[in-house]
Structure 1
Amino acid sequence: MPRANAVPHRGLSLAVLIVNQLLAGVGVASGIAVAALLVGELTGADQLGGLAQSASVLGAALTAIPLARLAVRRGRHVALATGYALAMVGAILIVTAAASGWVPLVFLGLAAFGAGAAAGLQARFAATEVAAPGFEARSMSLVLWATTLGSVAGPLLADAGNQVGQALGLPPLVGPFVFSGVAFGLSTLLVATLLRLPKAGQLAADAEGPAVGEDAGPAEATDAVDTSGAVAAEPGPAVASAPPPSVSSWDALRIAVRSPRALFAILAIVCSHTVMVGVMVMTPVHMTHHGLSLTLVGVVISIHIIGMYGASPLVGWLADRIGSPRVIFIGVAILLSATLIGILAPADDMLLVPLALGLLGLGWSCGLIGGSTLVTRSVDPSIRVPLQGATDAAMNLAAAIAAAMSGFLLGWGGFAAVNIVAVFVLVPLVIAGVAAVRSSRAGLSLEPSAPAR
């Protein structure tokens, strides 16, 4: 089938994805800014605040693979609409449970709420599917950048949402989830009515080459580690051999980790996200413990989100120009800087704390965009979508564990302990990067073998 038919109206599809991410950004950020505080208020134990993020991130992990399967069978637009609809239901459950005082239902609602984050992350892969060859990272970064306005507005609306909720007779800290539910409802409606993408499996079949009469665009680059130890973008084939079409997400992951390059890409996504979530989720609790207001908490989280998404077009451009691995290494350096500031900065320092959170977001952006682009370019199209789902599930599961541990780490050793543990999370990523360099120097094949047919 011609590729032009496989991806109709690239510009319209990308525009819908961008507008949708604005709404989804409001939906996720409005609620997540106060989730830890809400759970601490309902349970009377601030140490359990990390479990709020854990429930949400675990929900994202549990829905990542089913959404990827749905993308293969029905199309990305169906998968995205389903994820946002689940998040809307989750917001409704949170409001209902908090109003009734039934705490277990709050965690169930937060788990469903996490499906919105999973859908938002999978929208970045949808952007690569509508991109011209060679522009995947830039298209991905535009969709992520669109999340900036909504995500920055979300925490800033926390206080307003709280006032609206109290005016409606809801308990404190519940009102922001009303905003989240409305935003996710609009996002679901937009994707379901305007976005139309082919099944992901069909895109894989069309990935062998451009259609007759279609401009193929710049040659698609495959990121590789050169023999001098530097990372460069070089033309080349995908590294993984084609497995059977029915390969599962976990089989795709098992195939991919045999490639040093693909393993490096996967760990870039997983480790960067784990560090970001583990530190970010305890920042509001850390600040409020030292007497800072909810408004100041919202400002700091907004700066963090600007770091996550504001520079994403530059990060995407760099990934296409200098290679995804170099961008990943830059992200590691930025994340290390952020955690070191977090270890040393006083909680009430309104210069260093926002700087640390901004750098934390920027390092995450480099890891996510660099790693996601490298994952897309490192494997055969026939395992690409299952691997994307498995990678997102793995990163959210790891982040859920980190969020759960961060509350206890904060109680045990303070905010410095949270950041110290985050530094150790980066160690496997650095080791994988070094291994990829050494494999290239030794002339070893980066291609994992396919499973037996």
Structure 2
Amino acid sequence: MLTNVLGGVGVASGIAVGALLIQAIAGTAWSGFGQALSVLGAAIAAVPLAQLAARRGRRSALGLGYRIAALGAAGVVLGAVLHSVVVLFVALLFFGAAQATNLQTRYAGADAAAGPRRATWMSMVFWATTIGSVLGPNLATAGDVVGRSLRLPGLSGSYLFGIAAFLLASVVVMFLPGGVLPGAGVVPGARSVSAGQALAWAMRHPMARFAVLLTAVAHGVMVGVMSMTPIHLHGHGHDLEVIGLVISLHILGMYALSPVFGWLADRVGAIRVAGLGLAVLLAAVVTGLVAANGRVELTTSALVLLGLGWSASIISASALLAGVDSGDVRVPLQGANDALMNYVGAGAAVLGGPVMAGIGYGGLNIGAGLLLIPAAVAGIAALRAVRAGEQVVSAG
């Protein structure tokens, strides 16, 4: 789980300052585009990393993912030095591999778990990310000092911590015993299933369809609102320390209670925890709408709720997908699901800047709330399928 701590530091150290760095170089309207590229990079990396895990085991996939992310973090620093938006945006694509790698670790936890405790094990892997993810944003001020001491643009200094964290994570992965990171449960001799085929299979099965849609929607809502929150707070006069604290509390919400949600999924059913996740996400965007006036306490509450709703949704949806009973579909579907969630997140981040520039932070939260509707509809269909005995994944 040390890899999760390091990976969390690497990703989160860039979140608090990434939008501000883009804003300084390209303006507010482009501020969400950098986060979108990072999320897009995660989407692009998800399927190849899943395929590598299937062929050579989780350890090989995780190590490669963290090394690519370190290269991306170095590229961000170079782009800031050159004041080049092109270099910066390309580097953020590579930086996104870290998120894809961190996400893949939850399936490693499921691979090692017994069926009745699958969600609990997955959530424990998520929980291990908490330490690094909460520490990362609070390194923003230190990163600014370190960057300036090295005659680098101050905001780029946080990415130096990312480089170190990702490289250390890739080294730690090399020493993990092979049995801890198995080859994703691949069935010998099973037919090869593409990402598109896996998603098409999921769309034909109500419970799997709900899990995929819930993952994508929860991530899109979270990324869209979270990526614009630093700009929102900065525009109302709050400094880097306040912004870092708010993002830290948001990420704390994303991971700290994940063992509770995992335990609940094993105890009362993943489908019920999924419903809870949607309800909390709705509460988050309503609070965010009220926080449009820039009050930091309301914005913080909205971001904490956003993290909690994301956690409950992702844990429950991942548990449902880990329970797919078709061995040749399970691993490709995991990778395809991670890719889709990040494509949706990238789209949300791209739209976040123009939406906020046009109708403000409140309008952004209204749009995020509308995204919850298709997931809720799919959830109702999944419940009906459970009652009719049509499910092919466990509802918990």
Per the alignment, residue 52 of structure 1 pairs with 34
Q: Tell me how large the CA RMSD over aligned residues is.
A: 1.5
On the 8 A contact 1:38/1:174 being kept in 2, the answer is yes
2:112 corresponding residue in structure 1:
130
Deviation at 1:187, TM superposition (A): 0.3
Secondary structure (helix, strand or coil) at the match of 2:16 reads helix
1:332 positional shift? 0.5
Partner of 1:337: 283
Cα deviation for residue 196 of structure 1 reads: 2.0
Q: Kindly indicate whether the alpha-carbon contact (under 8 Å) linking 1:279 and 1:419 is maintained by their aligned counterparts in 2.
A: yes
Structure 2: distance between partners of 1:301 and 1:64: 25
Which residue identity is paired with 1:445?
Answer: E
Cα offset, 1:247, TM superposition: 1.4
The answer for unaligned runs of 5 or more in structure 1 is 1-17, 207-242, 449-453
Distance 1:398 1:204 in 2: 27
Equivalent AA in structure 2 for residue 71 of structure 1: A
Q: In the aligned structure 2, how far is the partner of 1:417 from the partner of 1:174?
A: 30
Are 1:31 and 2:14 matched, yes or no?
yes
CA–CA separation in structure 2 for the residues paired with 1:183 and 1:447: 39
| CA distance in 2: counterparts of 1:52 and 1:409, whole angstroms | 15
Match of 1:110 among 92, 97, 102: 92
Once the 2 structures are TM-superposed, how far is the Cα of residue 426 of structure 1 from its aligned partner?
A: 0.5
**Aligned-partner Cα distance in 2 for 1:195–1:107:** 36
- The aligned length equals 392
Unaligned runs of 5+ in 2: none
Give a deviation string over 1:46-91, Cα, whole Å, max 9, x none. 1101001101000000000000000011110100111100000001
Distance 1:182 1:263, change over 3 A: same
The aligned counterpart of 2:324 is 378
2:5 paired with 1:19:
no
Question: Partner of 1:204 in structure 2?
Answer: 186
- Please list, as runs of the form range in 1=range in 2, the aligned pairs for 1:425-436 lying within 5 A after superposition: 425-436=371-382
Deviations 1:273-311 (CA, angstroms, capped at 9, x unpaired):
110000000000000011111110000000100100010
Runs of 4+ in 1 over 4 A off after TM superposition: none
- Could you tell me the percent identity over the aligned residues? 45
Q: Distance in 1 between matches of 2:127 and 2:389?
A: 37
Q: Which residue of 2 aligns with 1:350?
A: 296
TM-score, normalised via structure 1 length: 0.84
Contact 1:156 1:302 in 2 (8 A): yes
Quick check: 1:166–1:172 contact (8 Å CA) kept in 2?
Answer: yes
1:146 aligned to which of 108, 117, 128: 128
Q: Give, in angstroms, the shift of residue 195 of structure 1.
A: 4.3
2:56 corresponds to 1:74: yes
**Is the 8 Å Cα contact of residues 200 and 385 (structure 1) preserved in structure 2?**
no
2:223 is equivalent to residue 277 of structure 1: yes
Residue 378 of structure 1 and its aligned partner are, at CA, apart by: 3.1
Structure 1 residue 444 displacement after superposition: 6.0
Q: Aligned in 2, Cα 1:378/1:413: closer, same or farther, shift over 3 Å?
A: same
Greater helix share, structure number:
2
Q: Is the Cα contact below 8 Å between 1:324 and 1:371 reproduced in 2?
A: yes
1:180 aligns with 2:126: no
- Distance across 2 between alignment mates of 1:350 and 1:189: 39
Aligned to 1:300: 246
Conserved? CA contact 1:286–1:347, under 8 Å: no
Amino acid in structure 1 at the alignment position of 2:7: A
Length-normalised TM-score, structure 2: 0.96
**C-alpha separation in 2, matches of 1:348 and 1:398:** 27
Query: What residue identity is the alignment partner of 2:391?
Result: L
